[in-house]
Chains A and B, each alone.
Chain A
């Protein structure tokens, strides 16, 4: 079984995307054998009122039974925009979304912002994961209107230190993944999953040794990144790096456990 932890629908203002709607994303999933996908809305990055994006996502998934069975929606919440607590309650409580996506770089706040910490604690109390991406696109060829800031893995550690008992899904490990000894231990003992889509997953076998095989899951970052590379990092693992049980955990087992499905 294969479950993608990191996909999107919606638009990117500076680049034409394909496979960015449910029929097209379904086609890619079918081709590569992906059974289910965690999905959030790219529009939620750019709408000032992110809740419109969550409503669009909800309505689209609700429109077809097949979509309800194969997509796992995450709500985009902006904790420095008024009404966010209501947005959280509606998305998680009424819409039944399974997690939240935060975009601090685009929405203009730090992970240390008290409202962000409050939101993460709310997610923890409801048992839903908080997903963070080290970057959305490569800032080098992106637009003059796009943000330039990207994160290293170390940059997300402050929120994990602040709320260590929340669930975190860290995706697109595009930049430095090195952590000091203390943070490495924190990741190991916390409920953290990291996906395989990012360019700095250079040596997945080594990362499995460092953090443990229960810490990684398949992710595509599609339709922003190509669909195959995140899966290739798993499927090309050698037997001495990962046995079949470990591969199955990365393909779906770890994420299923994490999401409680």
Chain B
């Protein structure tokens, strides 16, 4: 029978599991790398010190999502040591995606960035069905300093309608962040997903067609079968994968490291701020890998267009 009383309770806290290090080895990494991961893991973590130690660019944030305001976004960011948030306001799911809709969404982001230029990096949205208006909107927003584009599910990422938009973004050296679907774990994608949802295989196809372009596969923690998605995207070097979303299932980050690698993973929250930070802090990796994922990888993307953070 287990008898936990106050004496054994306090005494038990001294029991040490030191030396029990089950190597959580990453496929393809060398023994030296494994040892470094293990040695760093053996230290007891001061959680908030660890969180604040890393500079962070949240590669996937929204204005207006579930009532998110500038103030609420900045409040979470301050709490968790997030320096910059890459924000966008995609058009509502199921909307017609008319030019006046995407212009209004972008106006909201222009206002947010103007109000907090030190914290927000703006991403525009558009609908490639309206080519002329979309190209005009790219010019308007990029002239105002926007650093990328976020798209929802009005048109598939590999649709020919997107080709001129992607070619423009290659010229601009800016990244294209595209939403990803819920499910597949149930063989099919979630029934609520529209026919134009971009699935991992669509990213693979378009990335191969445009190897100079930079794509961002959205939110591995957003409800997609993340194992299936990472395996699909493992050989697409110009597809970055963001780890945002509410599903902070253990080992997702390590799995993504194994298949996508430390140079193509991006920290992001999609407004699930605790999970976005927490699962990267929890994951077994080196400090250098965490720095890349929290900050350096995205800053290197921004650097290509000279829009990096100092």
A interface list, Cβ under 8 A from B:
1, 14-19, 23-24, 26-27, 29-33, 35-36, 61, 65-66, 68-70, 72-73, 94-98, 137-138, 140-144, 146, 148, 199, 201, 222-233, 235-236, 238, 256, 261
Q: Which of A33, A69, A95, A230 neighbours the largest number of chain B CB atoms within 10 Å of its CB?
A: A69
When A32-B47, A226-B250, A236-B80 are in contact, do A140 and B24 touch as well, CB less than 8 Å? Answer: no
10 smallest beta-carbon distances between A and B, as pairs? A69-B12, A229-B278, A96-B1, A26-B17, A140-B223, A226-B282, A228-B282, A35-B13, A66-B15, A226-B279
B302 at the interface (CB under 8 A from A): no
Q: Which of B1, B44, B80, B275 contacts A30 (CB 8 A)?
A: B44
- Report A-chain residues with C-beta under 8 Å of the C-beta of B2: 61, 68, 72-73, 95-98
A17 touching B251 in the complex, CB below 8 Å, given contacts A23-B22, A141-B183, A144-B187: yes
Query: Does A141 lie within 8 Å of B226, measured CB to CB?
Result: yes
How many of B's residues come within 8 Å of A, CB to CB? 58
B41 engages A31 (CB within 8 Å) = yes
Whether the Cβ atoms of A141 and B250 lie closer than 8 Å is no
Is A141 touching B279 in the complex (CB atoms < 8 A)? no
Q: Is B249 an interface residue (CB 8 A)?
A: yes
Residues 184-240 of B at the A interface (beta carbon under 8 Å): 184-187, 190, 223-226
B272 at the interface (CB under 8 A from A): yes
Establish whether residues B4 and A69, one from each chain, have CB atoms under 8 Å apart when the complex forms.
Answer: yes
Assess the B6–A261 pair: CB atoms within 8 A: yes
Q: Are B9 and A36 in contact (CB under 8 A)?
A: yes
Contacts of B3 in A (CB 8 A): 96
Residues of the A chain whose Cβ atoms lie less than 8 Å from the Cβ of B13: 1, 35-36, 70
The answer, yes or no, to whether B71 is at the interface (CB within 8 Å) is no
Instruction: Kindly provide the distance from the CB of B83 to the nearest chain A CB, expressed in whole angstroms.
Output: 16
- The reply to whether A27 and B4 form a contact with Cβ atoms under 8 Å apart is no
Known: A16-B251, A66-B12, A98-B4. A228 touches B47 (CB 8 A): yes
B16 at the A interface (CB under 8 A): yes
Closest Cβ neighbor of B246 among chain A residues: A199
Q: How far is the CA of A198 from the CA of B79 in the complex (A)?
A: 19
The docked-state distance in angstroms from the alpha carbon of A90 to that of B185 is 38
Contact with A along B35-47 (1 / 0, CB 8 A): 0000001111101
A73 to chain B: closest residue by CB: B2
A17 and B250 contact, Cβ closer than 8 Å, known pairs A32-B47, A69-B8: yes
- Find out whether the CB atom of B51 lies under 8 angstroms from the CB atom of A236: yes
Find chain A residues with CB under 8 A from B274 CB. Answer: 201, 229, 232-233, 236
Task: Report B81 CB to chain A, min CB distance, Å.
Answer: 9
B301 CB-CB contact with A under 8 Å? no
By beta carbon, the residue of chain A nearest B190 is A140
Asked if B247 is an interface residue, CB under 8 A from chain A, the answer is: yes
A148 neighbours in B (Cβ, 8 Å):
186
Contact B9 A69 (CB under 8 A): yes
Interface residues of B in 238-281 (CB under 8 A from A): 246-254, 272, 274-275, 277-279, 281
- B21 near A27: Cβ-Cβ < 8 Å: yes
B residues in contact with A31, CB < 8 Å: 41-45
Note all chain B residues with C-beta closer than 8 A to A224. 249-250
The residues in B between 98 and 112 inclusive whose CB is less than 8 angstroms from any CB of A are none
A138 adjacent to B223 (CB under 8 Å): yes
Is B283 on the interface with A (CB-CB < 8 A)?
yes
A138-B247, A224-B249 in contact; A144/B186 too (CB < 8 A)?
Answer: yes
CA distance A65 to B11 in the complex (A): 11
Within 8 Å CB of A33, what residues of B?
44-45
Q: Name the distance in Å between A19's Cβ and chain B's nearest Cβ.
A: 7
Contact A236 B48, beta carbon cutoff 8 Å: yes
Is B288's CB within 8 Å of the partner chain A? no
* Residues of the A chain whose Cβ atoms lie less than 8 Å from the Cβ of B225: 141
Residues of B within 8 A of A18 (CB): 22, 24, 250-251, 254
A–B complex contacts, Cβ < 8 Å, 6 sampled: A24-B22, A32-B44, A141-B183, A141-B226, A229-B275, A261-B6
| Contact of B20 with A by CB under 8 A | yes
Chain B nearest CB, measured from A74 CB (Å)? 11
B-side contacts of A141, CB under 8 Å: 182-185, 223-226, 247, 249
Residues of chain A within 8 A (CB-CB) of B278 are 226, 228-232
Q: Tell me the bound Cα distance from A137 to B41 in angstroms.
A: 26
Q: Are A227 and B223 in contact (CB under 8 A)?
A: no
Which single member of A30, A143, A236 contacts B17 (CB below 8 Å)?
A30
Q: Cβ of B5 < 8 Å from any Cβ of A?
A: yes
Query: A226, B248: Cβ atoms under 8 Å?
Result: yes
B22 pairs with A27, CB closer than 8 A: yes
Q: How far is the CA of A27 from the CA of B24 in the complex (A)?
A: 12
Given contacts A16-B251, A69-B4, A228-B282, is CB(A236)–CB(B79) below 8 Å?
A: yes
Most buried by B among A61, A72, A141, A201: A141
Residues of A within 8 A of B253 (CB): 226
Distance of A70 Cα from B10 Cα, bound (Å): 9
Please give, as numbers and ranges, the residues of chain B lying within 8 Å of A68 by CB-CB distance. 2, 4, 8, 12
